[in-house]
């Protein structure tokens, strides 16, 4: 699991040819949020208008749709009152600044995460990042990690050992050896049946994860893709 830096992803793919590479959901959200921040009218509404925020979270919710159904769900989302005018906007149309900004956000989202459409032929091809790279539907169903936060946890633990932003080379080597010993002890404990304590999660996140799993399991019972997306946004 990596972020969405193409260079890093390509290196991993070339070295680990048989591994399935996926992107971190946290970094997917961060990338989209940075696009929101680029447009002042979008970011102000996102921070202050609850209904606007919930509608924009529908874009994040697409990650919880089965990969084969994501494009259809996106098209249904674009047909809603909230997104329709922005998606249909063309330069020169008489509309408000927020709608113009939203049209640019949707264009970015579609080209980056979903598909690119050839205006002349109407043919489509995959976006910059394949849907399977950022989709977490199967991860949720199978209880797999959606983010690489556990790696960030390791980084935080190692930083606690270093206790310095710019350690000397010798301190870095000695603390790396200490971290190695901690890792070896953890592996030995697992082998001898001494299970390490599972990482504690805040009750709020445990509840959200439980609700999210319940919604995802009921995917086929929703009347429309938009109703499913709406249910997912309540858990984001």
What pLDDT digit, counting tens, does each position of 142-165 carry?
988 887 666 666 777 878 888 888
Evaluate whether residue 212 is within a structural domain: no
Whether residue 19 is found in the same domain as residue 88: yes
pLDDT value at position 14? 82
Whether residue 117 is found in the same domain as residue 182: no
pLDDT value at position 164? 83
Whether residue 20 is found in the same domain as residue 94: yes
Evaluate whether residue 172 is within a structural domain: yes
Evaluate whether residue 220 is within a structural domain: no
Evaluate whether residue 180 is within a structural domain: yes
Give DSSP secondary structure letters for 19-74. Answer: S---B-HHHHHHHHHHHHHHSHHHHHHHHH-HHHHHHHHHHHHGGGS-GGGHHHHH
Whether residue 68 is found in the same domain as residue 140: yes
Whether residue 127 is found in the same domain as residue 184: no
pLDDT (tens digit per residue) in 38-86: 999 999 999 999 999 999 999 999 999 999 999 999 999 999 999 998 8
Which residues make beta-bridge pairs with 105?
none
Whether residue 182 is found in the same domain as residue 142: no
Evaluate whether residue 201 is within a structural domain: no
Tell me the whole-structure pTM to 2 decimals: 0.78
State how many domains the chain has.
2
Q: Are 110 and 129 in contact (CB under 8 A)?
A: no
Domain hosting residue 183, numbered range = 149-191
pLDDT (tens digit per residue) in 114-147: 998 766 677 788 889 999 999 999 999 998 888 7
Percent of the chain with pLDDT over 70: 90
Evaluate whether residue 19 is within a structural domain: yes
Evaluate whether residue 83 is within a structural domain: yes
Q: Is the dihedral of CA 147, 148, 154, 160 positive or negative?
A: negative
Whether residue 120 is found in the same domain as residue 10: yes
Q: 3-state class of 201 per DSSP?
A: coil
Instruction: Quote the distance between the C-alpha of residue 104 and its chain's center.
Output: 20
Whether residue 135 is found in the same domain as residue 113: yes
Whether residue 91 is found in the same domain as residue 163: no
Whether residue 64 is found in the same domain as residue 90: yes
Q: Are 64 and 137 in contact (CB under 8 A)?
A: yes
How many CB atoms within 10 Å of residue 100? 15
Whether residue 160 is found in the same domain as residue 136: no
Evaluate whether residue 213 is within a structural domain: no
């Amino acid at each position: 699991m990596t972020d969405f830096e193409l260079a890093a992803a390509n290196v991993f793919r070339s070295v680990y040819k048989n591994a399935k590479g996926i992107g971190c959901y946290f970094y997917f959200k961060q990338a989209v949020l940075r696009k929101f921040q680029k447009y002042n009218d979008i970011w102000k509404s996102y921070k202050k208008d609850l209904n606007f925020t919930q509608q924009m979270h529908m874009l994040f919710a697409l990650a919880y749709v089965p990969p084969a159904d994501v494009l259809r769900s996106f098209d249904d989302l674009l047909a809603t009152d909230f997104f329709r005018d922005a998606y249909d906007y063309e330069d020169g149309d008489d509309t408000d600044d927020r709608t113009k900004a939203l049209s640019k956000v949707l264009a970015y989202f579609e080209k980056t995460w979903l598909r690119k459409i050839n205006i002349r032929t109407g043919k489509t091809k995959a976006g910059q990042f394949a849907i399977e790279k950022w989709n977490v539907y199967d991860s949720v169903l199978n209880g797999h990690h959606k983010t690489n936060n556990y790696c960030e946890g390791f980084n935080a633990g190692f930083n606690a050992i270093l206790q310095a932003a710019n350690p000397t080379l010798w301190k870095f080597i000695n603390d790396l050896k200490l971290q190695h010993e901690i890792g070896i002890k953890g592996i030995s404990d697992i082998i001898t049946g001494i299970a390490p304590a599972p990482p504690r999660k805040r009750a709020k996140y445990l509840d959200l994860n439980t609700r999210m799993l319940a919604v995802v399991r009921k995917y086929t019972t929703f009347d429309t893709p938009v109703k499913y997306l709406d249910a997912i946004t309540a858990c984001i």
